[in-house]
Amino acid sequence: MRLNQDSPIVVFDNQCYLCVKFAKFVDFFGRGKMKMVGHYTEEGETIREKILDESALEMFWFIDEKRAYGGRSALLPVIKTIFSNKPKRFASLGIKEQCTQDCKTVKAVFVRSTSLITNSKIIEIRDEDNI
């Protein structure tokens, strides 16, 4: 996979109920403009190894050809992509819920929502980082 061919990419925690709901929301409104990848899929693990750092699992990521935006800093690029006139490039494969944690509680929703607001990171992508 080359980033310039497969971007933009949204990487999310596919083992968290709330994160999966967020990813489904983004996928629905993105109408195929973004590739959705779970953190715990083979492709997600490859992306974490090649591009992201140790904070990868703490937040969701939006990755384009030049940068990886994590958490709060990813919200604006996601919104811009949703409202852009870019053509549909990715078929929606359906996002499957694999919740292995007690993540449907009020406390879990609060913790994840707080995590989204407090965590933010931008990583510059070098040519050798392409996967």
Q: What whole-number distance in Å separates Cα of residue 124 and Cα of residue 27?
A: 24
Using a 10 angstrom Cβ sphere, with 0-12 exposed, 13-18 middle and 19 or more buried, the burial of residue 24 is middle
Global confidence as pTM: 0.80
Q: Residues 101, 15: contact at Cβ < 8 Å?
A: yes
What three-state secondary structure class fits 36?
strand
Q: What whole-number distance in Å separates Cα of residue 49 and Cα of residue 43?
A: 10
Q: Which pLDDT score is estimated for 25? A: 92
Token pair, residue 4, equals: 């310039």
Q: What whole-number distance in Å separates Cα of residue 14 and Cα of residue 21?
A: 10
What three-state secondary structure class fits 7?
coil
Q: What whole-number distance in Å separates Cα of residue 52 and Cα of residue 125?
A: 9
Write out pLDDT tens, residues 54-94: 888 889 999 998 999 999 999 999 999 999 988 777 776 66
- Inform me whether the pLDDT recorded for 114 exceeds 60: yes
Write out pLDDT tens, residues 98-113: 655 566 666 776 777 7
Write out pLDDT tens, residues 9-26: 999 988 888 888 889 999
